[in-house]
Amino acid sequence: MEIRDPIHGFIPLSEWERDIINHPVFQRLRRIRQLAWTDMVYPGAMHTRFEHSLGVMHVATRMFDHITTSRRKVLAELGFEDDGLKRQRILIRLAALLHDVGHSPFSHAGEDLMPVNPETGKPFKHEEYSAQLIRLEMADVIDNHLSNLRNHGITAAEVADYIEGGPSLSSERLFWRELVTSQLDADRADYLLRDSYHAGVRYGHYDLDRLVNSITLVDDPASGPRLAIEEGGWHAAEGLIWARYQMFTQVYFHKTRVAFDHHIARAIAALLAESQQGAPDQPADRFPPPTTRGGLKRYLEWTDWRALGMLEDGGGGEHGEILRTRQHHRLVYQTSEQPSLEDLERLEEVAEQLGPLLAHIGKAGSNWYKPEGEIMIAPETAQGAAVVPLSHYSTAVAGLKRSDKRLLYARVEDRKAADEIVAQTSMRTEGSR
């Protein structure tokens, strides 16, 4: 079977993969938008997690196939034989395909409504939902599928471990997980191209073919086997990072998108509270936890479709009404991407002067490129030389700093008054300098 995709062309599927895609847990992704309500800014951004997941599987497979073809000798030295690589390829495809099945309605906009994990004291993440859904709800179509039973012996727990970094991943195989989750993973390789395509922008463009053809496997003296980029292709990796930076600043953290994410989260919290009154052992305005099959089944009922229907029927409280009428909060003040101490002090002063007119403080914060887990470059000069971080080659990547941008919003009816206060405060601040 093949599926036609606007980004990658035809994506081939096995019969077993088709059955996994037809499973209700995966089909739910048709009802989860990739970019929440970004269509309020970029009207074409209506795509879903369903097609993104297919794309991630396809890109991860391309990367895997290039590595196994070009680095056969290194893989043999690490003990990988043909049968083992065939099984490994299937594991990578399934992990990439299923990595997002745990997303909440409107994707990341609803992630703040995850309940707290009592073991860590931190909110659950969608990856933990994904892993548990694979283990508990998809074992029937993975462990017990006839094709798998007769040929591969892959378990749902193994697939989930590639998403969570679980116990079945031996140190000898851990590097394969970088294709699923890392700064070089197939996830961002797909979503940058896909999101920019549907949004109608060019910010997310980079050279995917060159990136795939440059990915390699090295047995690094310091860290052991790991994925890297050949030295001649480091500009392709740089392009990936730069595309991500531009997409975050211009699309994902657009001022109106930040406002709508706030309204969506608050509206869904109200919908949860309305429908989960008396729910045992959890806050009513949070999603059910992924710790039991019952909780997972209740969680699966929450999709964009359900939330939109409840909003259409008048639910969601104040923020539901804002979403229905598109009278979202308006930006009245913002800092730079990397605000100085003086910038933050000025923000606090503006916020204090706004008083009750201040409706929301947004934060557009992200590390475009994290020092930990850097993309590594394999030098072409010395055989067996240690890999080198991309930031040592690229001054553009080395110069990227974390964004801690702050944004102040007022209700639409208060915008004029808020703008006047911001202007007066800015004049007073400038006059005192």
Tokens 């860290």 sit at which residue?
Answer: 223
Residue 89 to residue 68: CA distance in whole angstroms:
10
DSSP state of 34: T
Give the model's pLDDT for residue 165: 83
Residue 115 to residue 118: CA distance in whole angstroms:
9
Residue 377 to residue 379: CA distance in whole angstroms:
6
Residue 425 to residue 433: CA distance in whole angstroms:
13
Neighbours of 327 (CB within 10 A): 13
Do 270 and 319 touch, CB atoms closer than 8 A? yes
Give pLDDT tens digits for 59-101: 999 999 999 999 999 999 989 999 999 999 999 999 999 999 9
Q: What's the N-to-C CA distance of the chain in angstroms?
A: 68
Residue 331 to residue 39: CA distance in whole angstroms:
18
Give the model's pLDDT for residue 384: 60
Do 349 and 425 touch, CB atoms closer than 8 A? yes
The fold adopted by the segment(s) 2-322+373-400 is Hypothetical protein af1432 (1.10.3210)
Copy the structure tokens of residue 354: 């706004």
Residue 162 to residue 130: CA distance in whole angstroms:
11
- Taking the domains of the chain in order of start, what are their residue ranges? 2-322+373-400, 330-363+405-432
Give pLDDT tens digits for 95-142: 999 999 999 999 999 999 999 999 999 999 999 999 999 999 999 999
Strand (E) or helix (H) holding 296: helix 293-300
Helices (H), 383-414: 395-398
Q: For residue 203, which phi and psi values (nearest 5 degrees)?
A: -60, -35
Residue-wise pLDDT tens for the chain (433 aa)? Answer: 999 999 999 999 999 999 999 999 999 999 999 999 999 999 999 999 999 999 999 999 999 999 999 999 999 998 999 999 999 999 999 999 999 999 999 999 999 999 999 999 999 999 999 999 999 999 999 999 999 999 999 999 999 999 988 777 777 788 999 999 999 999 999 999 999 999 999 999 999 999 999 999 998 887 789 999 999 999 999 999 999 999 999 999 999 999 999 999 999 999 999 998 776 667 889 999 999 999 999 999 999 999 999 999 999 999 999 999 999 999 999 999 999 999 999 999 999 999 999 999 999 888 878 877 899 999 986 566 789 999 999 999 999 988 899 999 999 999 999 999 999 998 876 665 5
Copy the structure tokens of residue 415: 């915008």
Distances (CA, A) of 142 to 11, 149, 153, 307: 20, 9, 9, 30
Give the model's pLDDT for residue 433: 57
Residue 41 to residue 333: CA distance in whole angstroms:
19
Residue 167 to residue 173: CA distance in whole angstroms:
11
Helices then strands, each counted (H, E), the chain: 19, 11
CA atoms within 13 Å, Cβ hemisphere of 214: 25
Give the model's pLDDT for residue 29: 98
SS (H, E, C) 36-57: CCHHHCCCCCCCEHHHHHHHHH
Copy the structure tokens of residue 390: 């991309």
Q: Which of 108, 368, 409 is nearest to 261 (CA)?
A: 108
